[in-house]
């Protein structure tokens, strides 16, 4: 067990704050709890995220706010609102690259301990029942292709939540009351993936 108390910064949108569930059920907090159970010292996660944020809005926030410290680990999950609003994929990729560079700069170990998560395919949820699910799903796939390209370009870590999400993300117990956002049970699955990835760097 390390005596060092680690820090983690989580950048994103409603999926990062855990819209519709108690804060302690969000994936950043569940990840920290899992790490503590494994004997690792961790501060509470610092979360910079808001529901509805696009890559541009997260970037605007980071431009206008200063951070006094660096973090041992940084997570980045953003893009669902870009796709939902019909914003250009080209702009998403450019803005995501900016955010990824910022995340690397925030991280004490640079890219080695930056974890970028894929965008959940919300088109499978009950919220999307009146929408063109195939169209929305294929757009999300294209956005995630951009995520993968940038992860490879910068040598950061990919946390691919999509395979599990597509399998069970439409089930009632995996959904918050709004029928769109994940429940604590779904976030627990994401946290398990993060736990494994982070422990490889402790």
- Single out the residue of 127, 54, 53 nearest to residue 95, CA to CA: 54
pLDDT-based confidence at 171, cuts 50/70/90? very high
pLDDT-based confidence at 128, cuts 50/70/90? confident
All structural domains of the chain? 5-199 (3.40.50.1110)
* Share of the chain residues as helix, strand and coil, in percent rounded to the nearest 5: 55, 15, 30
Give how far Cα 25 sits from Cα of 31, 39, 41, Å: 9, 20, 19
Q: Please name the residues in contact with 165: beta carbons below 8 A apart, sequence gap of 6 or more.
A: 120, 121, 124, 182, 186
- What's the full length of the chain, in residues? 202
Q: Taking 70 as the threshold, does the pLDDT of residue 130 lie above it? A: no
Name the average pLDDT for the chain.
94
Share of the chain above pLDDT 90, in %: 87
pLDDT-based confidence at 65, cuts 50/70/90? very high
Plot region of 110 (φ>0 → left; ψ -120 to 50 → alpha; else → beta): left
Q: Are 178 and 127 in contact (CB under 8 A)?
A: yes
Give the mean model confidence (pLDDT) for residues 50-68. 94
Q: Which residues lie across from 76 on neighbouring strands?
A: 11, 116
Model's pTM, two decimal places?
A: 0.95
- Single out the residue of 173, 180, 83 nearest to residue 125, CA to CA: 180
Q: Taking 60 as the threshold, does the pLDDT of residue 1 lie above it? A: no
- Single out the residue of 22, 18, 2 nearest to residue 10, CA to CA: 18
Q: pLDDT at position 129, please?
A: 75
Per-residue model confidence as pLDDT tens digits over 70-93: 999 999 999 999 999 999 999 999
* Cα 57 from Cα 50, distance rounded (Å): 9
- Single out the residue of 69, 87, 70 nearest to residue 78, CA to CA: 87
Q: Which residues lie across from 75 on neighbouring strands?
A: 10, 115
* Cα 121 from Cα 62, distance rounded (Å): 26
């Amino acid at each position: 067990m390390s005596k060092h108390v680690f820090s983690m910064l989580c950048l994103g949108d409603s999926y990062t704050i855990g819209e519709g569930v108690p804060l302690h059920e969000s994936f950043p907090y569940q990840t920290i709890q899992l790490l503590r159970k494994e004997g690792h010292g961790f501060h509470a996660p610092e979360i910079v995220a808001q529901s509805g944020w696009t890559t541009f809005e997260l970037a605007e926030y980071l431009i206008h706010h200063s951070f006094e410290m660096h973090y041992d680990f940084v997570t980045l999950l953003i893009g669902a609102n870009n796709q939902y609003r019909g914003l250009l994929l080209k702009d998403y990729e450019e803005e995501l690259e900016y955010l990824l560079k910022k995340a690397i700069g925030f991280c004490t170990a640079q890219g080695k301990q930056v974890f970028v998560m894929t965008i959940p395919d919300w088109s499978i949820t009950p919220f999307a029942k009146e929408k063109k699910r195939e169209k929305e799903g294929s757009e999300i796939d294209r956005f995630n292709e951009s995520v993968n390209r940038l992860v490879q370009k910068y040598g950061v870590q990919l946390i691919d939540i999509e395979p599990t999400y597509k399998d069970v993300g439409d089930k009632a117990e995996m959904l918050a009351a709004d029928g769109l956002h994940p429940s604590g049970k779904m976030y627990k699955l994401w946290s398990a993936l993060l736990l494994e990835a982070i422990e490889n760097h402790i």
